[in-house]
Amino acid sequence: MTDVIHRTAAEIAAQVADGTVTATEVTEAHLARIEAVDEKVHAFLHVDREGALEQARAVDARRAAGEKLGPLAGVPLALKDIFTTEGVPTTCGSKILEGWIPPYDATVTRRLKEAGVVILGKTNMDEFAMGSSTETSAYGPTGNPWDLTRIPGGSGGGSAAAIASYQAPLAIGTDTGGSIRQPAAVTGTVGVKPTYGGVSRYGMIAFSSSLDQGGPCARTVLDAALLHEAIAGHDPLDSTSIDAPVPAVVEAARNGSVAGLRVGVVKEFRGEGYQAGVMARFDESVELLRELGAEVVEVSCPSFDKALAAYYLIAPSECSSNLARFDAMRYGLRVGDTGGRSAEEVTTLTRGAGFGDEVKRRIMLGTYALSSGYYDAYYGSAQKVRTLISRDFERAFGDVDVLISPTTPTTAFAIGERVDDPMAMYLADLCTIPTNLAGNAAMSLPCGLADEDGLPVGLQIIAPAMADERLYRVGAAVEAAFRARWGHPLLEEAPAL
């Protein structure tokens, strides 16, 4: 039974459907794996053992009753702790939500349950998804399964680490500036940021609402596509949700090909700060795409060098407003409510105790940037840069079908290395942020190990808005070619835990 944890989600679903294995057995195997390794990895903040087994038994009962099961029925999943789960703790990595039990499911949670996906538990993350290393979590860091002294990326480090350590075949992340793709890159897994509005934000705790996007994390491109299809689609409960058919991502993942495709290499994504081993693997990927029949050209996106600066005005501005709801009255923690203090004093004490340093830094930055007299200079200017970035993408996609770049400038850094240096931390998302600002779609998938440290490198593929299927078509072709070259999935090279 142990080997069930190494199977893909597609394989598990097929075996549950044909009766080779039960959903309960699959769930028990993954719970045993969590029991065995998560003390070291710390991917989960909460394991919902009973809830998971109950969901699994329900799938087995439906099968026994002769019901036709969906394409992910009986497959276990690790859910980022930013999504509300009815009756199951949801902290968003923050002390301020400690002890909060949501009274409702996020749309993503609900769709997963309806698909018969078994939710194993909630994964660790940077507090309110602010970070690139999972170190700002109020509950301690997560280790990278490739080297437990290194960061697993962030903010969705728990989700990426869970799948990279075979604690779950699937996970859900959210990507505001890179938090699905960057963890995927540094853990040797696949992560996709769908087109903005492609997956409902209802019940996904808001960080920066105009940038936040939930999406799939998996070990294969096909598994990511199956998960993407399960959670995507219009939701009347989210006013920014796209009311259009979901791109045909599963079909694309089953028909990987780049023949005749025009691929643009973003010229701006190289140079100082990019690790040699990352660029070597990226250049090999470019060669591979050529061999597979793509036409590769260089593309310039001159405004991308302002993306980070614009992001660090827009995201904090929106977060300063979104996080105002944590006022000690409605959710979670309340400090100093011992009588005699005003509501304002209790709110101040609670926010002071409940938020960590990075969250406070951003609330202050955002409040400042939005204050009258500074609005035009900061927030207004950042919005203009955002328009320039969208135009760069539009121009590029007038000429090419997809863009490619390294996902991150470096491989996984050491836990503690950048935690006191916010600027160094922010650079981890240099290549991922433009996509969030423009609202289009992108994927990270493994493209090898860096020579200098033997750690995974991610290849980023970027597609126009609503053309998410291109990511999967290209991703599946690249994945198949790399696997043929390596003889196995990259993750098999990770040391045993």
Residues of this chain that bind ligand GLN (CB under 6 A)? 129-132, 155, 175-179, 207, 315, 429
* Structure tokens belonging to residue 166: 């075979």
Stated as kind and residue range, the H or E segment containing 424 is helix 422-426
Q: Which of 80, 95, 122, 306 is catalytic?
A: 80
Comparing CB distances to ligand GLN, the nearer of 154 and 489 is: 154
Comparing CB distances to ligand GLN, the nearer of 177 and 264 is: 177
Q: Which long-range contacts (CB under 8 A, 24 or more apart) does 16-19 make?
A: 16/59, 16/63, 16/69, 16/73, 16/74, 16/75, 17/63, 17/69, 17/73, 17/74, 19/63
CA-CA distances (angstroms) from residue 459 to 81, 106, 142?
Answer: 26, 30, 23
* Structure tokens belonging to residue 459: 């290849």
Q: How many CB atoms lie within 10 A of CB 147?
A: 18
Separation of first and last alpha carbons in the chain: 18
Comparing CB distances to ligand GLN, the nearer of 175 and 229 is: 175
- Angle, helices 468-486 vs 221-231, to 10°: value is 160
155 catalytic per annotation: yes
Q: Which of 94, 132, 137, 179 is catalytic?
A: 179
SS3 33: helix
137 catalytic per annotation: no
State in angstroms the smallest separation of the CB of 247 from ligand GLN. Answer: 21
State in angstroms the smallest separation of the CB of 153 from ligand GLN. Answer: 9
372 catalytic per annotation: no
* Phi, psi of 257, deg, nearest 5: -170, 145
Query: How would you label 419-442 residue by residue, b for 16+ Cβ within 10 Å and e otherwise?
Result: beeeeebbbbbbbbbbbbbbbbbb
State in angstroms the smallest separation of the CB of 492 from ligand GLN. Answer: 28
Contact 98, 328 (CB under 8 A): no
State in angstroms the smallest separation of the CB of 175 from ligand GLN. Answer: 5
Comparing CB distances to ligand GLN, the nearer of 89 and 131 is: 131
Comparing CB distances to ligand GLN, the nearer of 264 and 366 is: 366
Q: Which of 94, 155, 241, 303 is catalytic?
A: 155
State in angstroms the smallest separation of the CB of 366 from ligand GLN. Answer: 12
Catalytic residues: 80, 155, 179
